[in-house]
Amino acid sequence: MSGTGTGPERHLFEDDGTIPNSTLPLLLWRGVLPMGEGDAAAACEAIFASNGWGDAWRWGVYGYHHFHSTAHEVLGVVRGEARIRFGGPNGEILVMHPGDVVLIPAGVGHKDEGSSEDMLVVGAYPDGQKPDMRRGAPGERPEVEENIARLPRWERLPV
């Protein structure tokens, strides 16, 4: 892990009745990915994979509130500025820059809130976990709560 050597920021979000969020904190590391010459996205994928976080993808963040009940998720910002609201409509916007990494526990809502046009993130999940896509639809809550309760915590941090 690169960066300042300080621990991650911790953010907790309460259940808002639609987005369950989590009793586990969202963890945000600032400036921990290598952003020198070369393919930053490939370097990010390699770091995540070496720590047991796979099924990596490269893209952005959806522009609507959503969460996953069957997987935790990690995002690494490799280009541009990411402005993401975590915790649902009443949550908090966190601004992230290249080199920043955020670990999103299952159940925590997230939505793009006007990131730069060139923003690129690498996402991944703990090995063996496959994400579903949830938006807080009426009637899904019992299944969501059951999924989250069964989901094991990650074995290793992604960075």
* Predicted pLDDT at 31: 97
Evaluate whether residue 2 is within a structural domain: no
* Predicted pLDDT at 3: 45
Evaluate whether residue 24 is within a structural domain: yes
Q: What is the layout of strands, in order, in the sheet containing 73-79?
A: 9-13, 22-29, 101-104, 73-79, 120-126, 53-59
For the domain that residue 141 is a member of, what is the CATH number? 2.60.120.10
Residue-range definition of the domain harbouring residue 133: 9-150
* Predicted pLDDT at 2: 43
- Say which residue, 3 or 151, is predicted with more confidence: 151
* Predicted pLDDT at 1: 44
What is the value of pTM for the model shown? 0.95
Distance, CA of 57 to CA of 89 (rounded, Å): 26
Q: Band of the pLDDT at 38, cuts 50, 70, 90?
A: confident
**CB-neighbour burial class of residue 57 (10 A; exposed 0-12, middle 13-18, buried 19+):** exposed
What average pLDDT does this structure show over 136-140?
Answer: 94
Evaluate whether residue 157 is within a structural domain: no
Distance, CA of 83 to CA of 112 (rounded, Å): 6
Token pair, residue 40, equals 């930053």
**Domain total of the chain:** 1
Evaluate whether residue 3 is within a structural domain: no
In degrees rounded to 5, what are phi and psi of residue 41? -65, -45
* Of 18-27, 30-39, 69-78, 119-128, the least confident: 30-39
